[in-house]
Amino acid sequence: MGTIVVQLIISGILMGMVYALVSVGLTLIFGVSRIINFAHGDFVMVAMYAGYLLNQYWGIDPYLGIFIVAPGMFLFGLAIAYVIVRPIIGAPQVAQIFATLGLGLVLQNCALFYFGADFRSVTSIVSGKTFRTMGLSFPVASLVAFAVAVLVVIALYLYLRYSYTGKAMRAVAQDRRAASLMSINVSKIDFLTFGLGSACAGIAGALLLPLMPVYPSVGLNLVIIAFVIVVLGGMGSLWGALIGGIVIGLIENLSAFYIGSDMRQIAYFIVFLLVLLVRPVGLFGVKGSERVGE
């Protein structure tokens, strides 16, 4: 029994890190631009389909496809930011909600029209391979996804902390008006932030593709998990998203084993509500970080 528990815990951490990568893009966009992107899960879906097409038509492995999907999603994010997000920055919450929900529905139905409702999956160079040690066994695909997600989160943290643009993004997140008075181009930072958040969704989609099938509504479940993680960890907190993702991954695995796979969402929503009852701003949030449109 002890070995099984350890296996479940480590597997939960591995999957939770990929969830964290999905959530990091969402919390980055909210933290800087104060935009709640309800279409973020559908961005992951678009990235998964992009990886699928690269694999089917050109035989590109999903992990190698990251180097094409991530830049492509960055440009896709910039286009969406210009057409849809730019007019709603600072708008009432209702405008943001309907604009991003509508975008998500458009993306879902475009995928449904082009690909149909069938589940589609791909194989990678590590599909079917497992890593065994001390009586434990883990899919190599999960280990690769974990390693890449860790590297991306660390690189993003270093970029935000030490680069000039990263410092400007943190300044805008703290006070948009003061940042503009310090000659920071706030609009440019908003575009860049949305692009980076979309690129994170692209990398997460490429990593998830060998682990789960892609279908038009796959983003719906992912965005629910991402929002739970972001609010649980603290709106706008990078480390909160990281810890929240690992917590949700652990709860999913352990509850699926001990209670049943159909009870996983109930389990992490219960934990989510309990945390918010004790600390409404989330584990790493600060008072006022949850405000929208300010």
Tens of pLDDT, residue by residue over 145-181, are 899 999 999 999 999 999 999 899 988 888 888 888 8
φ, ψ of residue 132 in degrees (nearest 5): -115, 135
Burial class (CB in 10 A: 0-12, 13-18, 19+), 224: middle
d(CA 163, CA 25): 18
pLDDT computed for residue 294 by the predictor? 47
Asked if residue 209 is part of any domain, the answer here is yes
> For 259, how many CA atoms within 13 A lie in the half-sphere containing its CB?
14
pLDDT in tens, 26-66: 888 888 888 888 999 999 999 999 999 999 999 899 999 99
φ, ψ of residue 120 in degrees (nearest 5): -125, 140
Residue 49 structural domain:
2-223
* Host H or E run for residue 132: strand 130-133
Give the dihedral sign, CA 116/23/192/196: negative
Q: Which residues of the chain carry a pLDDT beneath 50?
A: 288-289, 292-294
d(CA 35, CA 101): 12
Q: How many domains does the chain have?
A: 1
Rg for the chain (alpha carbons), in Å? Answer: 19
- Nearest by Cα to 181 from 192, 190, 168: 168
Asked if residue 268 is part of any domain, the answer here is no
Asked if residue 294 is part of any domain, the answer here is no
pLDDT computed for residue 40 by the predictor? 93
pLDDT computed for residue 285 by the predictor? 63
Asked if residue 271 is part of any domain, the answer here is no
> For 89, how many CA atoms within 13 A lie in the half-sphere containing its CB?
22
pTM of the model: 0.90
pLDDT computed for residue 206 by the predictor? 92
Asked if residue 206 is part of any domain, the answer here is yes
d(CA 171, CA 49): 35
- Nearest by Cα to 22 from 1, 47, 53: 47
Asked if residue 246 is part of any domain, the answer here is no
Asked if residue 283 is part of any domain, the answer here is no
Asked if residue 104 is part of any domain, the answer here is yes
